[in-house]
Amino acid sequence: MGSNSLTLAPAPRSAAAEEVRAEVREFLAAELAAGSFTTHVDTWLSGVDPAFSRKLGERGWLGMTWPKQYGGHERTAMERYAVTEELLAAGAPVAAHWIADRQSGPNLLRYGTEAQRAEILPRIAAGECYFVIGMSEPDSGSDLASIRTRATRNGDGDWVVNGAKVWTSNAHTSHYAITLVRTSPADPASRHAGLSQLLVDLSLPGITVNPIRILDGGHHFNEVVFEDVVIPGDMLLGEEGAGWHQVTAELAFERSGPERFLSTYPLIAEFARRAAEGQDPAQLATLGRLSARLLALRQLSLRIAGALDRGELPDIPAALVKDVGTTFEADVIDEVRRVVDVPASLDSPDPLGRALAEAQLHAPGYTLRGGTNEILRGIVARGLGLR
């Protein structure tokens, strides 16, 4: 069920969510003390650590809301929210499994065949199978309806794919891509017709993954090129021609989570410690402004989690969270930079200087991934009947 309103019911209080939150905090404190990871900014895309993902799977913190028959744990969206929020706040290395757990698994539950679910979902829940998003293209950007990657049937009933995807985070370390392709010619009357989704094994012949490095030299973005890649016919996800509807449903999961406003939280936390120690009025005022915005964003994101728990599809509020949340992430950098006299450097001995540098160097991606702000505002306006 879709939602074209920005009015959502408050998220219910959950004792179970607070119980699992305490468990995650205890686990993270132990992992930090053992040196198994160090806190960084933006780790839900840049922090790939398969061993850490497997630890989460062993504790039942992946696939939390899924049916037990597929390796899930049948817990609530609020419990899952508490887990993801704590992992993000700690700057933990969760990028390996993030996309698979956040949206690929729910997409498979909604549209996948029984064979697809049985084969893939238990591996995701165990922290052993990783997915990427195959949507944006070199000449399409946020205008997904204009994609040119094509899939045609061959004589054996399999799909032959040609084209390219871009900004494909962690394709070089992942197993599958849910790939949006054009399976029939574009209809001038409906640009959204003729699109389908395929489950693409990224180890297949004909797939080339080219790195796109960000400003600090890090590598999580990629271009993925498909040259006569043969995809088994039974790896169609959902219905042929229903790709646009399926992508829209998937984006509600992609755009609404706490990662859309917590990418720079480790910077806020380090700044908060500095402001509390120094009691500088300008720093405390900045911390107050950032905290107020963060709390408001969290409430909206929690309401969306509650809506997903009720089986709703809050695509318009999700677009709003992504727009306002990623704008906040970039604003955090500017707000902090104005009131601290700390050089931003990845080599700084000061943890605030390191966090500030990481946040600055990752900032160009905040408002790009998941749809640019201009596109998102158009989605919200159309959903509210304003255009």
In the listed set 241, 258, 281, which residue is the last one of a domain according to the structure? Answer: 241
pLDDT in tens, 218-252: 898 999 999 999 999 999 999 999 999 898 877 76
pLDDT in tens, 259-278: 888 999 999 999 999 999 99
What pTM was estimated for this model as a whole? 0.90
Residues whose CB falls within 8 Å of the CB of residue 142, separated by 6 or more in sequence, listed in order: 136, 371, 372, 374, 375
Residue 270 to residue 265: CA distance in whole angstroms? 9
Task: Based on the fold, state whether residues 195 and 266 are members of the same structural domain.
Answer: no
In the listed set 194, 220, 241, which residue is the last one of a domain according to the structure? Answer: 241
User: What CATH number did the domain enclosing 59 receive?
Assistant: 1.10.540.10
Show which residues are catalytic: 254
Task: Based on the fold, state whether residues 42 and 60 are members of the same structural domain.
Answer: yes
Task: Based on the fold, state whether residues 254 and 376 are members of the same structural domain.
Answer: yes
pLDDT in tens, 55-95: 999 999 999 999 999 999 999 989 999 999 999 999 999 99
Q: In the prediction, which pLDDT does 5 show?
A: 60
pLDDT in tens, 174-227: 999 999 999 998 777 788 899 999 999 999 999 999 999 988 888 989 999 999
pLDDT-above-90 percentage for the chain: 69
Task: Based on the fold, state whether residues 227 and 284 are members of the same structural domain.
Answer: no
Number of domains in the chain: 3
Task: Based on the fold, state whether residues 364 and 267 are members of the same structural domain.
Answer: yes
Task: Based on the fold, state whether residues 22 and 83 are members of the same structural domain.
Answer: yes
Task: Based on the fold, state whether residues 51 and 176 are members of the same structural domain.
Answer: no
pLDDT in tens, 349-374: 999 999 999 999 998 877 777 777 78
Task: Based on the fold, state whether residues 148 and 116 are members of the same structural domain.
Answer: no
Task: Based on the fold, state whether residues 196 and 296 are members of the same structural domain.
Answer: no
Task: Based on the fold, state whether residues 202 and 272 are members of the same structural domain.
Answer: no
User: What CATH number did the domain enclosing 352 receive?
Assistant: 1.20.140.10
Give me the domain span that covers residue 189: 133-241
In the listed set 207, 241, 275, which residue is the last one of a domain according to the structure? Answer: 241
pLDDT in tens, 287-334: 999 999 999 999 988 888 888 778 787 778 888 888 888 899 999 999
